[in-house]
Chain A
Amino acid sequence: MNLFDILGPVMVGPSSSHTAGAVRIGRMARALLGQTPVQAELLLHGSFASTGEGHGTHQALIAGLLGLAPDDSRVPDSFSLAKERGLTFTFGTRELRDVHPNSVLIRLEGERGGRLEVGASSPGGGRIKVFQVDGLDTSFTGELPTLVVHNSDKPGCVSQVTGALAAQGLNVATLQLNRGGRGGSAVMVIECDQPVSEATAQWLRSLPGILRVNRYTPDQEEPL
């Protein structure tokens, strides 16, 4: 916690959890897709579903998918901006199990055909937590530079990736590993102390057994 967690963020109202956090969830989903989304299905859970309408949560999520920041005054007008930029979307509700009341499941399709399903929560103060990526459990906040690596569940994948990061002088802060089933696909979430460059991500993609690499760099949202 620092002074600017107390005084700040600069954000579009009315709620840090239902508006600012929702924008951040959209931005995170866009970053994890790694391309411009053209289609989105958003399933709201709990308080997002019941009070989202009055908090502008829907507009906030779409604003984030368009890459807007929580303090962008175009957040309330994101639906018309989405139309201009060719993003079509639908909203629904879904009861998710064992998640925070402020949660959403987002299914995205990108301009180059990429697909992603991400589940995230906004527990308060504009902070977020990604609890699911493509059906696999995760737990990360986007407060540190983050890599999400989809790999085949085979020996050596983790050491290859962490070795490659070490060679770049990147320190791993946390590492989570989850898989769908033995020998299937797995997802590695790596939070680093330093930003990960696109070149490093590109190099990781060339390694055997690595299916997809997406990176998220925390925003410098304020001051503008």
Chain B
Amino acid sequence: MIDFTSIEQMIAGAEQAGLPLWKGIQLSDCQRQNITPEASWARMSAMLEAMTQADGGYRAGDRSRSGLTGGDGGKMSDYGQGETLCGPFLTDVMAGALRMGECNACMKRIVAAPTAGACGVLPAVLLPCRKHLGVSDEALIQALYVASGFGMVIAARASISGAEGGCQAEIGSAAAMAAPALVHLQGGAPAQMAHACAMAVKNLLGLVCDPVGGLVEVPCVKRNVIGAMDALSAAQMALAGIESRVPPDQVLDAMAEVGRSLPHTLRETGRGGLAATPFGLEYAPKSE
């Protein structure tokens, strides 16, 4: 039985049981929930299927109720038709993050991962791995277990709520879940997954939650792009053997402490940062 209160203990638990990390995470959750591994696998594959469907349901012509969101995923795909700055893989990742963030703002069906506002990060980095890296759905589902296991530790040690910990707790957490998932897909070791998670968190430490009008649109949609890019860079650093100097669990503790220190105005109240700019104030709620 894995303890989800520390990355170190989660990895040690799976190692002691002689299991790959994803399998250890799956079996421990099955035990806690009293469900079979088959039922758990079916549910996780339904999550991958729902992400894939959501991505396919994007329409560049859709607009959110506020009118602030829509069309950017289409622009990125159009740009990707020609020569791009970042190359085909990264362009697909960015387009995927924008598409999912926009689907969410336009009231389409998405998978909260870990939240609705950060729903674009995981699918943005994972789904293009089918085409660009030849990854199987089976491997992607295993990667989702890895992501969820790290997410459990982040939720237990820090936070996955913007109202509690700022955007570092939403986009930052999503990136910190996606980075070890990518390391898993590339055959990296559990210790590399831990460092990938830690580096992804560190790079977005202190990111504030300052949504214009209190809506999950500006800057949330585009922050899914930076979350995806953060996950890729952290995973690649870990795969190169680069380590977080600060031990991963201590990084999560720092994230919790930084979240608590953020002022109320920068924790999903829509009263600080971008929300408090002259542009942002035009969208501020009337009452309250």
Query: Are A14 and B149 in touch, CB under 8 angstroms?
Result: no
- Closest A residue to B42 by beta carbon equals A223
Residues of B within 8 A of A46 (CB): 288
**A206: CB under 8 A from chain B?**
no
* B180 CB–A CB distance under 8 Å: no
Known: A47-B288, A51-B270, A223-B42. A14 touches B155 (CB 8 A): no
**B76, CB-defined interface residue at 8 Å:** no
State in angstroms the CA–CA spacing of A125 and B42 once bound together.
23
Interface residues as binary, A78-116 with B (CB distance below 8 Å gives 1, 0 otherwise): 000000000000000100000000000000000000000
Known contacts A20-B116, A53-B65, A224-B46; A10 and B108 CB within 8 A of each other: no
- Chain B, residues 124-155, CB within 8 Å of chain A (1/0): the string is 00000000000000000000110111011001
Min C-beta distance of B118 to chain A, whole Å: 11
**Shortest distance between the CB of B197 and any CB in chain A (Å):** 13
Which residues on the A side are within 8 Å of B163 (C-beta)? 124
**Nearest-neighbor residue (CB-CB) of B110 within chain A:** A13
Binds B, one of A1-9, A155-163, A182-190: A1-9
| Residue A55 lies at the interface, judged by CB distance under 8 Å to chain B | yes
Answer yes or no: B66 CB below 8 A from chain A CBs. yes
CA–CA, A224 to B53, complex, Å? 13
CB of B287 closer than 8 Å to a CB of A = yes
Is B116 within 8 A of A13, CB to CB? yes
Question: Beta-carbon contacts of A3-42 to B below 8 Å, as 1s and 0s?
Answer: 1111111111111100110000000000000000000000
Is B274 interfacial (CB-CB < 8 Å)?
no
Q: How far is B28's CA from A1's CA once the two chains are assembled, in angstroms?
A: 12
Contact at A50–B110, with CB atoms within 8 Å?
Answer: no
Which residues of A are found within 8 Å of B40, using beta-carbon distances?
3
A169 within 8 A of B: no
User: For the complex, is B249 an interface residue (Cβ under 8 Å from A)?
Assistant: no
Q: Mark B177-220, 1 if CB is under 8 A from A, else 0.
A: 10000000000000000000000000000000000011111000
Q: In the bound complex, how far is the Cα of B110 from the Cα of A15, in angstroms?
A: 10
Taking a contact as CB atoms under 8 Å apart, the answer to whether B104 and A14 are in contact is yes
Asked whether, in the complex, the Cβ of B114 is within 8 Å of the Cβ of A6, the reply is: yes
Which single residue of chain A is at the shortest CB-CB distance from B150?
Answer: A6
Residue among B106, B116, B155 making CB contact with A6, cutoff 8 Å: B155
Verify if B119 is at the interface (C-beta below 8 Å from A). Answer: yes
Complex Cα gap A19–B49 (Å): 22
Which residues of the other chain, B, contact A8 by a CB distance below 8 angstroms? 47, 111-113
With the chains together, A7 CA to B40 CA distance in Å? 12
User: Which residues of the other chain, B, contact A224 by a CB distance below 8 angstroms?
Assistant: 46
Decide if A47 touches B109 in the complex (CB within 8 Å): no
Determine the chain A residues whose CB is within 8 A of the CB of B111 once the complex forms.
Answer: 7-11
In the bound complex, do residue A14 and residue B47 qualify as a contact, i.e. CB atoms below 8 Å apart? no
With both chains docked as a complex, state the minimum distance between the C-beta of B261 and any C-beta of chain A, in angstroms.
Answer: 20
Contact of B75 with A by CB under 8 A:
no
**Taking the nearest CB of chain A, how far is it from the CB of B94, in angstroms?**
19
Total A-B residue contacts, Cβ distance less than 8 Å: 145
The answer, among B29, B114, B213, B216, for a CB contact under 8 Å with A15, is B216
Among listed A68-76, A146-154, A193-201, A211-219, interface-contacting one: A68-76
Alpha-carbon separation in the docked complex, A3 to B42 (Å)? 13
Which residues in B have their C-beta under 8 angstroms from that of A47? 214, 285, 288
B114 to chain A, nearest CB (A): 5
Among A7, A15, A51, A71, chain B packs the most CB atoms within 10 A around the CB of A7
Docked-complex contact B145 and A19, CB < 8 angstroms: no
Residues in B with CB closer than 8 Å to A125 are: 112, 115, 161
Q: Flag if A11 contacts B214 (CB, 8 Å).
A: no
* A51 adjacent to B29 (CB under 8 Å): no
- The smallest beta-carbon distance between B175 and chain A, in angstroms, is 14
Q: A6-B155, A7-B47, A13-B108 are in contact. Are A51 and B285 (CB under 8 A)?
A: yes
**In the complex the two chains form, is A73's CB within 8 Å of B108's CB?**
yes
Question: Is A64 in contact with chain B by the CB < 8 A criterion?
Answer: no
Report A's interface with B, CB cutoff 8 A: 1-16, 19-20, 46-47, 49-51, 53-56, 59, 71, 73, 75-76, 93, 124-126, 222-224
